Structure 1
Amino acid sequence: MDEALQLLKKYWNYDDFRDIQSDIIASVLSKNDVFAQLPTGGGKSVCYQIPALLNDGIAIVISPLVSLIKDQVENLQKKGIKAIGLVGGISTDEISDLLDNCQYGNYKLLYLSPERLQSDWILDRLKNLTISLIAIDEAHCISQWGNDFRPAYLKIANLKSHFPKTPLLALTASATPRVKQDILEVLKIQNASIFEKSFNRDNIAYMVFDVEDKLFRMVQILKKNPEPSIIYVRNRKACLEIARQLEQSGISSTYYHGGLTTKEKNDKMFLWTSERVQVIVATNAFGMGIDKGNVKTVIHIQLPDSMESYYQEAGRCGRNGQKAYAVLLHSPSDYIQAEAQFLAVLPDKEFLNVVFKKLNSYFRIGYGEGINESFSFNLNEFCSQYQLPILKTFNAIQFLDRQGVLTLSAEFSQKITAQFIIPSKEVIRYLSLNSSHEETITTILRTYPGIYEVPANLNTNLIAKKAHTTPDAVVQILENLHRKEIISYKAHNNDSTIVFNEIREDEKTINRVSKFLVTHNELKKQQLHSVMEYVSNKNTCKAKLILNYFGETKKENCGICSYCISLKKTSPALSSTTELIISALEKNSMDSRSLEKITRQTSNQVIFALQELLEQNKIEVLSNNHYRLKK
């Protein structure tokens, strides 16, 4: 392992491996099939990147997230490690060229979305490569009981038959025992070496608080713990609103969601990682690849959709081993809102069929056509045109994405249209005077030969790749050409991009994937009910509840969660607080903040006393979140 440690130091600047990383790497290097479960932040990617560098040939890495593939490839290339990513939206010719590079260019890692394995010709090309390792990231996607089941993952088992002597490494951060067994059976690696790190994070205090004024409690927590923090919310509007409210309360904040441009994301990420602001308010678009060790607090102000999601998001605090807080603030109305947000908007087969047909009509895709075509997409405009409910439509499209029918990129994009409005000889003259723009402009002219006659829809990512530059640099050149009146230029903002991965076959397509829809919807119900049980259970250590969900048994209480803290409260003090509250409520109904002022007790004392009185059925909660004595 000495050589592995040298590579770790050279490329990642770490002196030693974490936890069971070295055992996993040693087993892979010994040509064993391996199942590895490491919690979020456990350093899964190093477990295949190091063996890829040590072995001859190229490692195949299968990942379901286009954005994560792009980030990994970009980060490896910055380190000087040769890596390639094959995702949606790339033409067949480009894929062929990239696979040629894999065969003759001494590349060490080839990242694939699972849908690529459904193309027989790509599989045939892979057979010509010297494959050193097959790594499956987010392996829980293999199981239909996993958090993000994708049928395309089932095709991965075929690789094992084509490369029987190549070690297979399945990696996941959040698999229940049922999902783990599914992974081993589907991949046919029942004899795999198994490495599992406990889900227990003994430095994280899992806190669940019943509150009616979430902003007030957030500010209290963040002022008490002024270190870097993350607040998770469910939508983009809440990102802006909560960040603004925190700023007004004296907490430096920024926000992050999938609708930001790449530059905006990078700028806001820099503000937070460099600790120019304390808090980043984010949707679940934030988190993949984030490894900031000193995050003190993660706060959820709305119920997450599953314990898997909650565990991963909460686990982004305390990675330096110091005590940290995973806080979930909720009020009685959250249960109703969560069911409306997560369950009432689940699509059935009929609605899925409608959305798929409308998408094809929207993009003017004919029957039997559409494969590998890429389109800019604005969800609000689409739903407005066809009078469709937004959340339910988004869930339908997301389901089609997970089934591999299409790929939905949640990244902000621009629809750019351009046309040259000066003669070609004048363009040549411009190029002779602006040599730094030559490669980009000639790439545009070669890629869009009709751009002199009619406006062309430009793919800046494709142009950037061919011209060996960045999409932002392409846009800057186009804007410069527009100012000089060399081109006409229009840019329209879009929420995302859709790539169709197969030809249009309407009902035939929906009939094939709808068999997974019933299971998918049932799983979503079970997952949300598990979250509700976690929140509402007042009689069990929160760390125990999380570990039980993932199939682990913990004998002793953690001692630091909200339940365990409540046990430490001396009964005389609790009794005194409950008496003060009862006395106050005899005069009028009140919220918890008013009770804090009148009783002169801390917020924690009041909360625990209120919970005690609720359990004793002595008080009740009104619809306005006020408490009153039971009549």
Structure 2
Amino acid sequence: MSNSLEILQKYWNHDAFRTPQEEIIASVLAAKDTFGLMPTGGGKSITFQVPAMMMEGICLVISPLVALMKDQVENLQNKGIKAICLTGGISSDEIIDLLDNCEFGNYKFLYLSPERLQNDWILERIKNLPINLIAIDEAHCVSQWGNDFRPAYLKIVKLKEYFPKVPFLALTASATKRVQEDIVKLLQLDNPAVFTKSFARENLAYMVFNVEDKLHLMEQILKKNPQPSIIYVNNRKSCSETVTQLESLGFSATYYHGGLSPKDKENHMKLWMNEKVQTIVATNAFGMGIDKANVKTVIHLHIPPNLENYYQEAGRAGRNGEKAFAVLLTNPSDVIHVEAQFLSVLSDKAFLNLVYIKICNYFRIAYGEGIDEKFSFNINHFCTKYSLPILKVYNALQFLDRQGIINLSQEFTEKITLQFIIPSKEVIRYMSLNKQDEEVILTILRTSPGIYESQSVINISLIAKKSNTDENKVLAILHKLNEKGVIELHAKNNDATLTFNEVREDERTINRVAKYLEAQNKLKTDQLKSVLHYIKEEKKCKNKLLLSYFGEVINEDCGVCSYCISKNKTKTDTSTLSEKIIGLLKIQDLNSRDVVKLTKYSKDDVIFVLKNLLENDTIMVKPNNLYSLKN
């Protein structure tokens, strides 16, 4: 039998393990339950893939991330290793065939989601497999206090009864001390060997900048660091908008989000991986399984929902060990509004119940029926029909998905995009000659202000409702406009797929998971407070703040974060600068960039004094982000 290093070299072409990969593998091979906390980029998959290749039988891998499971299975198959993945949407007959292959086909890896373990017949089949190792990825999902808690993870411990001598390997990239203790307890790990790798990244400088003009600072950062970069935004619309802005400044860029087709995702990814473009602008859908060593800069344009996500996304910079930057850009209005915006989309029990009943009615699911029924689902149409807020509904559906009540594919591709390609005066002329189309066209123009400049997403249901017509007529008008060369139309038929995993029981279903909803809402609120503390705290090292959140205490400041750099600068005469700023604001309202130009002081000094003036109620920030003297 080959040793672990030979397996690593043969299949993964690496000459050495990273700490603590080798130690975890040795523990697993000694048949010990093992817990591994390895920050993003640490190579968690190696710790179960290598030992599984050294033992007879098949490794059972439990993961909640369908995209990551598919990616790992494909990579194993490309290496000539037999692997299978049981994802959602597979029929019972297909599952039976796949499990037959596992039992009789000498397969080495079986990947499945924890929800699959809730099917008794699947569990019975798994009991008959020659399992050599049970690897639980994203193990923090077992804890109510972990990011993205999934009750189905609580069922994993049942495997202990059937495989008492098979080692459990629990892996996570981000877990607080409380969550780590929960993982060991809830998975009933037997006197586990615990391996934790420090969250510290000595080559990564954490920067937080509070600025009005994010685009200007982003331009400066990307010019100074022309190597590959990632820019994270919090919605799909911002992806395309930011790419347009970057291209107008002369940067090459592409984008990535969950609504792209698999082909577009691959093409956009390749452009960036092969360095045909400098920057990829992405939502948090981007990153799983991405291992590009020379990323110099990761910029967050919006406030992330929690520090777990932020740490993982920021950690995609500097994996080659060279100095790299994790930059979080905020402006005064971000911090003021984020809490209200965040809280407004959290579901309470009543709203969750409403959405569940409406979704059952929408698909005509009778009480006591619906299990394993699958439907094509357009969230825009659903929300328009019932006059419900899209983001709040989406969060409610995500919660139902995590509880295993439904399975929701993440392919919410916008169905229709269009752009007017003739001048506005010609559009007016067209409407005057085609009065029957006028109301629909006007509604589109009112709801999509940037539709002359670029392809814009169109919500057909909303357009029909606002123009007092039906969707078929709207679509007919759009196709006619496209044929006449008035617009450029792109139609994509790629709705989400929604599968009901349980029979409909209305309040009984929701009552069962309501306690988890309450706990998750509190957790999310607390996590956001931690993010805001990280942003607002200006008297502590950013690296220290981040590490302390994960329970890691260090004494030394990092010396390279935004706080440490500002601390080491020569102190400015703030009273003189205050007088200059007040004098300028007596003449006109200004943004911080104008103040920097006119006073010739550094940006950091200007921001510091502006904040003091705000705190003392000497000045105010207007909605347009201009500073003004208070009356």
Scaled by the length of structure 1, the TM-score of the pair is 0.84
Q: Does the CA-based 8 Å contact 1:262-1:412 persist in structure 2?
A: no
Q: Distance in 2 between matches of 1:376 and 1:413?
A: 12
Q: Distance in 2 between matches of 1:514 and 1:585?
A: 52
Q: Does the CA-based 8 Å contact 1:591-1:627 persist in structure 2?
A: yes
In the alignment, what sits opposite 1:359? 359
Q: Does the CA-based 8 Å contact 1:401-1:407 persist in structure 2?
A: yes
Q: Does the CA-based 8 Å contact 2:572-2:605 persist in structure 1?
A: no
In the alignment, what sits opposite 2:23? 23
The alpha-carbon deviation at position 528 of structure 1 amounts to 0.8
In the alignment, what sits opposite 2:297? 297
Corresponding letter in the other structure for 2:533: E
Q: Distance in 2 between matches of 1:105 and 1:249?
A: 55
Q: Distance in 2 between matches of 1:58 and 1:233?
A: 40
The alpha-carbon deviation at position 524 of structure 1 amounts to 1.0
In the alignment, what sits opposite 2:463? none
The alpha-carbon deviation at position 314 of structure 1 amounts to 0.9
- Indicate how the Cα distance of structure 1 residues 318 and 613 shifts in structure 2: closer, same or farther if over 3 A, else same: farther
Q: Distance in 2 between matches of 1:398 and 1:61?
A: 23
Once the two structures are superposed, the pairs formed by residues 260-279 of structure 1 within 5 Å of their partners are 260-279=260-279
Once the two structures are superposed, the pairs formed by residues 148-227 of structure 1 within 5 Å of their partners are 148-189=148-189, 191-227=191-227
- Indicate how the Cα distance of structure 1 residues 600 and 393 shifts in structure 2: closer, same or farther if over 3 A, else same: same
In the alignment, what sits opposite 1:133? 133
Q: Does the CA-based 8 Å contact 1:83-1:109 persist in structure 2?
A: yes
Q: Distance in 1 between matches of 2:578 and 2:511?
A: 59
- Indicate how the Cα distance of structure 1 residues 610 and 188 shifts in structure 2: closer, same or farther if over 3 A, else same: same
Q: Percent identity?
A: 63
Q: Distance in 1 between matches of 2:399 and 2:105?
A: 37
Once the two structures are superposed, the pairs formed by residues 397-408 of structure 1 within 5 Å of their partners are 397-408=397-408
Q: Distance in 2 between matches of 1:132 and 1:513?
A: 34
The alpha-carbon deviation at position 371 of structure 1 amounts to 2.2
Q: Does the CA-based 8 Å contact 1:540-1:563 persist in structure 2?
A: yes
- Indicate how the Cα distance of structure 1 residues 537 and 56 shifts in structure 2: closer, same or farther if over 3 A, else same: same
Q: Does the CA-based 8 Å contact 2:127-2:162 persist in structure 1?
A: yes
Once the two structures are superposed, the pairs formed by residues 439-478 of structure 1 within 5 Å of their partners are none
Q: Does the CA-based 8 Å contact 1:407-1:499 persist in structure 2?
A: yes
In the alignment, what sits opposite 2:449? none
In the alignment, what sits opposite 1:528? 528
**3-state secondary structure, aligned to 1:49:** helix
- Indicate how the Cα distance of structure 1 residues 576 and 277 shifts in structure 2: closer, same or farther if over 3 A, else same: farther
The alpha-carbon deviation at position 609 of structure 1 amounts to 4.8
**3-state secondary structure, aligned to 1:24:** helix
Q: Does the CA-based 8 Å contact 2:360-2:504 persist in structure 1?
A: yes
Deviations 1:3-31 (A, max 9, x none): 21122122221111112111111111111
Q: Distance in 2 between matches of 1:413 and 1:91?
A: 24
- Indicate how the Cα distance of structure 1 residues 361 and 95 shifts in structure 2: closer, same or farther if over 3 A, else same: same
Corresponding letter in the other structure for 2:170: A
Q: Distance in 2 between matches of 1:122 and 1:309?
A: 32
**3-state secondary structure, aligned to 1:371:** coil
2:58 aligned with 1:58, yes or no? yes
Once the two structures are superposed, the pairs formed by residues 1-40 of structure 1 within 5 Å of their partners are 3-40=3-40
- Indicate how the Cα distance of structure 1 residues 23 and 542 shifts in structure 2: closer, same or farther if over 3 A, else same: same
In the alignment, what sits opposite 2:465? none
Q: Does the CA-based 8 Å contact 1:259-1:495 persist in structure 2?
A: no
Deviations 1:331-363 (A, max 9, x none): 121134322432111111121112112222222
In the alignment, what sits opposite 1:88? 88
**3-state secondary structure, aligned to 2:493:** strand
Q: Does the CA-based 8 Å contact 2:333-2:625 persist in structure 1?
A: no
- Indicate how the Cα distance of structure 1 residues 413 and 213 shifts in structure 2: closer, same or farther if over 3 A, else same: closer
**3-state secondary structure, aligned to 1:509:** helix
Corresponding letter in the other structure for 1:531: V
Q: Distance in 1 between matches of 2:2 and 2:338?
A: 51
Deviations 1:117-139 (A, max 9, x none): 11111111111111100000000
Q: Distance in 1 between matches of 2:612 and 2:226?
A: 30
Q: Does the CA-based 8 Å contact 2:33-2:190 persist in structure 1?
A: no
Q: Distance in 2 between matches of 1:492 and 1:626?
A: 41
In the alignment, what sits opposite 1:314? 314
Deviations 1:218-250 (A, max 9, x none): 111111111111111111111111110110011
Q: Does the CA-based 8 Å contact 2:206-2:561 persist in structure 1?
A: yes
Q: Does the CA-based 8 Å contact 1:88-1:501 persist in structure 2?
A: no
Q: Does the CA-based 8 Å contact 1:87-1:113 persist in structure 2?
A: yes
Corresponding letter in the other structure for 2:381: E
Deviations 1:550-575 (A, max 9, x none): 11111111111111111111115777
Question: Which sits farther off after the overlay, 369-378 or 533-542?
Answer: 369-378
Q: Distance in 2 between matches of 1:273 and 1:279?
A: 10
Q: Does the CA-based 8 Å contact 1:134-1:169 persist in structure 2?
A: yes
Aligned length: 556
In the alignment, what sits opposite 2:480? none
The alpha-carbon deviation at position 578 of structure 1 amounts to 5.5
- Indicate how the Cα distance of structure 1 residues 281 and 10 shifts in structure 2: closer, same or farther if over 3 A, else same: same
Question: Which sits farther off after the overlay, 122-131 or 261-270?
Answer: 122-131
**3-state secondary structure, aligned to 1:499:** strand
- Indicate how the Cα distance of structure 1 residues 193 and 529 shifts in structure 2: closer, same or farther if over 3 A, else same: same
- Indicate how the Cα distance of structure 1 residues 8 and 341 shifts in structure 2: closer, same or farther if over 3 A, else same: farther
**3-state secondary structure, aligned to 1:194:** strand
In the alignment, what sits opposite 2:46? 46
Q: Distance in 2 between matches of 1:164 and 1:414?
A: 48
In the alignment, what sits opposite 2:424? none
Q: Does the CA-based 8 Å contact 1:91-1:372 persist in structure 2?
A: no
Corresponding letter in the other structure for 2:224: K
Question: Which sits farther off after the overlay, 228-237 or 613-622?
Answer: 613-622
Corresponding letter in the other structure for 1:27: S
In the alignment, what sits opposite 1:477? none
Q: Does the CA-based 8 Å contact 1:206-1:561 persist in structure 2?
A: yes
Once the two structures are superposed, the pairs formed by residues 90-129 of structure 1 within 5 Å of their partners are 90-129=90-129
- Indicate how the Cα distance of structure 1 residues 619 and 562 shifts in structure 2: closer, same or farther if over 3 A, else same: farther
Corresponding letter in the other structure for 1:567: K
In structure 1, list runs of 5 or more residues that go unmatched.
416-490
In the alignment, what sits opposite 1:411? 411
Q: Distance in 1 between matches of 2:608 and 2:297?
A: 21
Q: Distance in 2 between matches of 1:557 and 1:630?
A: 38
In the alignment, what sits opposite 1:77? 77
Q: Distance in 2 between matches of 1:167 and 1:82?
A: 21
- Indicate how the Cα distance of structure 1 residues 16 and 384 shifts in structure 2: closer, same or farther if over 3 A, else same: same
In structure 2, list runs of 5 or more residues that go unmatched.
416-490
2:262 aligned with 1:252, yes or no? no
Q: Distance in 2 between matches of 1:210 and 1:568?
A: 19
The alpha-carbon deviation at position 164 of structure 1 amounts to 0.9
Q: Does the CA-based 8 Å contact 2:5-2:16 persist in structure 1?
A: yes
Deviations 1:585-610 (A, max 9, x none): 45444211111221234434533454
Q: Does the CA-based 8 Å contact 1:376-1:414 persist in structure 2?
A: no
Q: Does the CA-based 8 Å contact 1:411-1:496 persist in structure 2?
A: yes
Q: Distance in 1 between matches of 2:58 and 2:190?
A: 25
Corresponding letter in the other structure for 1:300: H
The alpha-carbon deviation at position 622 of structure 1 amounts to 3.9
**3-state secondary structure, aligned to 1:366:** coil
Q: Distance in 2 between matches of 1:572 and 1:529?
A: 31
